[in-house]
């Protein structure tokens, strides 16, 4: 165990795709995720940014092995996770856990909320004594900023969304995980508790936890992460260091997203963006072609899918208007 800890651990996504068969007889294909590659290093927070339907949750679920990949491979510490079975899979879940958007639907309303901790104990730590376990639960709850006396022995409806969400993070922490998939965990919370959960993630990060932070809120992504991946209809359109992307968004889609973020220091510019995303088939051209204000037929935007290129150091973009090193 200790020797493994010293190695550089890493989650790596290698050209993963997810294709769903849709239509009456499964004749049509829906590409939810196409050829996505990126990696999350030790103690790194990576934001996965995109609108609804961009495939960001699908990627999170594939990492958690809740759904299978259609092609490509996800590896954790060099091991392909699709090959994991039984004991090895359990060991994987000991290291990798997820927390999801809606804290209220993550609990069974019939049971008390702290049942999630009991299940963890039954599954992963049957050898630990009750008293020892209870102290562990209490110290973990304190670590996520909850007062154990206030929150234990309560039903889900007696707790607030922020408390339930922190419960779920505490549950993940009990396992001493290395990687957390945080899927829109802030969006259901109130502004005053939002920052507390964000700061909690930041603290965990400084303790060496790697986080995939899935969000549609760009300001939250900027606050917490050093790397950002922007998705549009299942494709990575831009990725790189958060500062570079935010200060200098290159892809027209990222620019549009930046322009739409409601900010407290600037009003929306009078950029009228055509938001009718036509639900057409995925063509061979750039995925953003129909909504792109600067699409150019001569550049072949409608015919060729641009590949992800490094526009400046540590800043990638998939747009035919940019070529390597420009």
Partner 1 sequence: MSLQVENLRVYYQTLKGDVRALEGATFTVADREIMGLAGESGCGKTTLAHSLIRLTLPMRFVEGRVTLDNEELPVWDMERMNDFRFKEISIIPQYAMNAMNPTRKIGKMTEELLRSRKVDFRASLPELKRRLDLVKLSHDVLDMYPIELSGGMKQRMVMVLSILLNPSLLIADEVTSALDVSSQKAVAEMLVEFRNQGCCKSVIVITHDISILYQIADSILIMYAGQLAEKASTDVIINSPRHPYTKLLISSLPEIGVKYAEKRLTGIPGSPPLLLDPPIGCRFRDRCPLAFDKCVEEPPFIEIEKDHFVACWKVFEENAQA
Residues that bind partner 1 (CB under 8 A): 51-52, 160-162, 190-196, 198-199, 202, 216-220, 222-224, 242, 246, 256-258, 260-265, 267-268, 273, 275-276
Smaller CB separation from partner 1, 181 or 200: 200
Cα distances (angstroms) measured from residue 263 to each of 30, 214, 220, 260: 34, 20, 12, 9
| Cβ at position 218, least distance to partner 1 in Å | 6
- Cα 143 to Cα 57: distance, rounded to the nearest angstrom: 27
Min CB(126)–partner 1 separation in Å: 35
Whichever of 180 and 198 has its CB closer to partner 1, that residue is 198
With respect to partner 1, which residue has the nearer C-beta, 52 or 284? 52
CB 183 to partner 1: min, Å: 14
**Smallest distance from the beta carbon of 317 to partner 1, in angstroms?**
19
Residues 6+ apart with CB under 8 A from 33: 16, 17, 18, 55, 58, 59, 62, 234
Of 128 and 195, the one with the shorter C-beta distance to partner 1 is 195
Mind giving me the DSSP string for 19-67? EEEESTTS-EEEEEEEEEEEEE-TT-EEEEE--TTSSHHHHHHHHTTSS
CA distance 264 to 94: 41
Helix axis angle for 86-95 and 115-124, nearest 10°, is 130
Q: How far is the CB of 87 from partner 1 (least distance, A)?
A: 38
Smaller CB distance to partner 1: residue 89 or 273? 273
């Amino acid at each position: 165990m200790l020797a493994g800890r010293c190695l550089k651990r890493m989650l790596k996504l290698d050209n993963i795709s997810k294709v769903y068969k849709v239509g009456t007889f499964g004749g049509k294909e829906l590409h939810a995720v196409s050829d996505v590659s990126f990696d999350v290093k030790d103690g790194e927070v990576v934001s996965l940014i995109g609108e609804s339907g961009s495939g960001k949750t699908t990627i999170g679920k594939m990492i958690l092995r809740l759904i299978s990949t259609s092609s490509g491979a996800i590896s954790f510490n060099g091991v392909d996770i699709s090959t994991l079975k039984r004991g090895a899979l359990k060991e994987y879940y000991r290291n990798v856990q997820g927390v999801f958007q809606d804290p209220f639907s993550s609990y069974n309303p019939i049971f008390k909320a702290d049942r999630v901790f009991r299940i963890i104990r039954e599954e992963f730590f049957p050898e630990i004594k009750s008293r020892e376990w209870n102290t562990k639960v209490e110290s973990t709850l304190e670590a996520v900023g909850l007062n154990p006396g206030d929150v234990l022995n309560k039903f889900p409806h007696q707790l607030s969304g922020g408390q339930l969400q922190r419960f779920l993070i505490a549950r993940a922490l009990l396992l001493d995980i290395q990687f957390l998939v945080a899927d829109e965990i802030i969006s259901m919370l109130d502004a005053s508790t939002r920052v507390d959960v964000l700061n909690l993630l930041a603290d965990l990060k400084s303790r060496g936890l790697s986080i995939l932070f899935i969000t549609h809120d760009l300001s939250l992504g900027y606050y917490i992460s050093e790397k950002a991946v922007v998705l549009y209809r299942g494709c990575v359109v831009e990725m790189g260091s958060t500062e570079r992307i935010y200060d200098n968004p290159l892809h027209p889609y990222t620019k549009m997203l930046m322009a739409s973020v409601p900010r407290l220091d600037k009003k929306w510019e009078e950029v009228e963006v055509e938001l009718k995303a036509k639900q057409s088939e995925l063509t061979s051209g750039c995925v953003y072609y129909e909504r792109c204000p600067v699409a150019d037929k001569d550049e072949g935007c409608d015919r060729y899918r641009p590949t992800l290129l490094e526009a400046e150091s540590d800043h990638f973009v998939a747009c035919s208007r940019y070529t390597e090193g420009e």
